[in-house]
Chain A
Amino acid sequence: MQGHSLKRRLLVLALSTVVVVWVGASTFIYFDAREEFDEVLDAHLAQDAALLSAQAAHELDELETDHAPLLHKYARRVAFQIWEGGKILRMHSANTTQRHLADIENGFSDSVIDGHRWRVFSAWDETGQFLIHVAERADVREELARDIAGNLLEPLLFSLPLLALLLWVAVARGLRPLDKLAAELERRDPETLTPLDAEAVPREVLPLIERLNRLFTRIDSTFQRERRFTADAAHELRTPVAGIKAQAQVARGATGAAERNHALDNAILGCDRAAHLIEQLLTLARVDALDVAAAQSCGLRDIAAREIAVIAPVALGKGVHIELPEGDDVAVRGNPELLRILTRNLIDNAVRHTPSGTTVRVAVVQREGLVSLSVCDNGSGISEQEMSRVSERFYRPAGTQASGSGLGLSIVRRIAEVHGAAVHFSRADNARGLCVAVTFRP
């Protein structure tokens, strides 16, 4: 369902509320009026009966029977009978029959005569000689009450369209801040991610605006991170390509074989490094796309041993030894392929940045329910400030001599993230070198 109008909804609600309240009030007044009429008119009937009985005693003597004339348009709806001794009809109004108007002889009663409902008051006169019935058509009362209620409802009927118009204007005015907000959002360049002004909006919309602003901020930071990453990646990819091209051109312009070979060797080295960088970028892109790693039980020590076996020859060529103390395998839940990449990057990073003649220590330990994989070197280490930055993409500590993509620890951190693991950097035990520990929760 698209776009049900808030204005129409408010208008319909307001109008129906008015109608319901008004009709309710009229109904109440109708019933209330009827009750009041009943009492007042009953009192009249009783009084009329008293009047008749006072007269009957001395005036009816001369009459055989008599029809009282009808003197008013409502007179047909009012009737009376005077029965002598309750048996002989001595006087009655023109609109009554020869039958008693009521079956009882004292008090109020309702009876149906000629298809009409009548309200009757019956009483004996003081002498006990005449039975008097005074009656009134019941529909008179109903008509009166209905007239009063009708008078109340009529203006509603006429004023409803006007009321609707006024309400429409009021609702439109009341919702103007919303319209303004909608217009502002519509005018917005989709690229604009600055927060909306939360000062000017109504309180009801504030949570919405705050949510939107939070979303804007989040998208903005994601965009900026992406943009920075793209710029960094461009920079990191262009540099090795520039190096390869320049080396090739130097080789072409070289005058001696030694100079040419040096340049060509460097060009080939540049290709290897570019390939490594591209590999790392692709790995990072793949890991970035993951939210959670498909989990299965992985032997962390086993993974570390396999990766060390792969890197060890290169490391030994550099004069770096890698150690993995004996111990039981410890299992963590995770994606074995990703954990392999994480382990390889950690060890590779340590080997790359460790000078010849040093040792890289890899350890897998289980302590207090936590499993941690740590890789420590006794190289030159990095400063505290650098520790907080080393896992940033493309960050390389100042004076880094070794070649690298600057992505290894970013990949480690990202893989740790998807495994819900924490990465911790610290100085190695001998206060030199760097320790990187990845701690997995069971």
Chain B
Amino acid sequence: MRVLVVEDDALLGDAIQAGLKQAGYAVDWMKDGVAADHALGTEAYAAVVLDLGLPRLSGLEVLQRLRSRNSSMPVLILTARDTVNDRIKGLDAGADDYLLKPFDMGELAARLRALIRRASGKVDLLLQVAGVKLDPAAHRVICREQSVDLSPKEFAVLHALLLSAGKVLSRAQLEEQLYAWGEEVESNAVEVHIHHLRRKLFPELIETIRGVGYLIPVDKAD
């Protein structure tokens, strides 16, 4: 899962980036509104953590521009402005959630999970397909009643495929979800992760559509 963090405070931004990485997200961090607007116009993020008081372009403005591009990307506003009026303004501008500083890293990660889950249209907290259960909160995967150990990147690939179960994700789309800006993308990394997933879970789980990408088919029981 790749998320965008927009925060102008160096220490806080650094902490959010590190904390969300620990929670298994690939994190891009932008320090001003213009850069954030630009990133949102070019990249597909699973969610955005947005501060309101930003230099160059306010957070609300960034949000309005995002919504005017018809994007339904989940946005969580993270701000120190605590009046009801501020919250109303933020939510009305198109935010999906609102978290007040200072906040708890665990809560921020949980809210992001909830936003991403809701955006994918899933109600169940656990993503289940073909006997594979993925718990995004606990970062745990269970296959045929057995707990399976996955690396963070493998987990992220499985998470992305399960979230869009029944749809094909291209290699580029998966890479986008896995790596933040500036992070070194190893060539054929996605293939390696898919290979490991097939070995750790079961080979038929992930299908390869040659020249297009990968998909986890929605099983008949679902």
Contact = CB atoms under 8 A, between A and B. Distances in A.
A400 B31 CA distance: 10
A392 to B, nearest CB: 14
A247 B14 contact: yes
B103 interface: yes
Contacts of A236: 80
Nearest to B34: A398
A107 B160 CA distance: 141
A269 B104 CA distance: 19
The interface residues of chain A, by DSSP majority, are classed as helix
Contacts of A396: 55
Interface in A233-254: 234-247, 249-250, 253-254
A403 interface: yes
Contacts of A266: 11, 14-15
A246 B15 contact: yes
A247 B11 contact: yes
B106 A249 contact: yes
Contacts of A241: 101-102
A155 interface: no
Contacts of B81: 231, 234-235
A269 B136 CA distance: 33
Contacts of B148: none
B83 interface: yes
A244 B102 CA distance: 9
A398 B56 contact: yes
B102 A238 contact: yes
B22 to A, nearest CB: 5
Interface in B34-83: 53, 55-56, 79-83
B12 A263 contact: no
Interface in A219-240: 231, 234-240
B18 interface: yes
| Interface size, A (range) | 20 to 34
Max count, chain B CB within 10 A of own CB: residue among A231, A242, A254, A263: A242
Contacts, number: 88
B19 interface: yes
B105 A234 contact: no
B10 interface: yes
Interface string A253-284: 11100010011001001100100000000000
B16 interface: yes
B11 A270 contact: yes
A202 B103 CA distance: 57
A399 B11 contact: no
B12 A242 contact: yes
A247 B102 CA distance: 11
B32 A246 contact: no
A250 B80 contact: no
Interface in A327-346: none
A139 to B, nearest CB: 92
Interface string B103-144: 111100000000000000000000000000000000000000
Nearest to A252: B105
Contacts of B103: 242, 245-246
B101 to A, nearest CB: 4
Contacts of B106: 249
A27 B56 CA distance: 88
A249 B18 CA distance: 10
A246 B80 contact: no
A231 B83 contact: yes
B83 A243 contact: no
Contacts of B204: none
Given A255-B22, A263-B18, A403-B10, 12 more contacts: A234-B81, A235-B53, A235-B79, A237-B80, A238-B101, A241-B101, A242-B102, A245-B104, A246-B102, A247-B15, A397-B55, A399-B32
10 contacts: A231-B81, A238-B100, A242-B12, A242-B101, A243-B15, A247-B11, A247-B15, A253-B22, A262-B18, A398-B56
Give the 9 A-B CB pairs with smallest separation, nearest first: A246-B15, A238-B80, A242-B101, A243-B12, A242-B102, A243-B11, A235-B80, A398-B55, A249-B105
Interface of A: 231, 234-247, 249-250, 253-255, 259, 262-263, 266, 269-270, 273, 396-400, 403
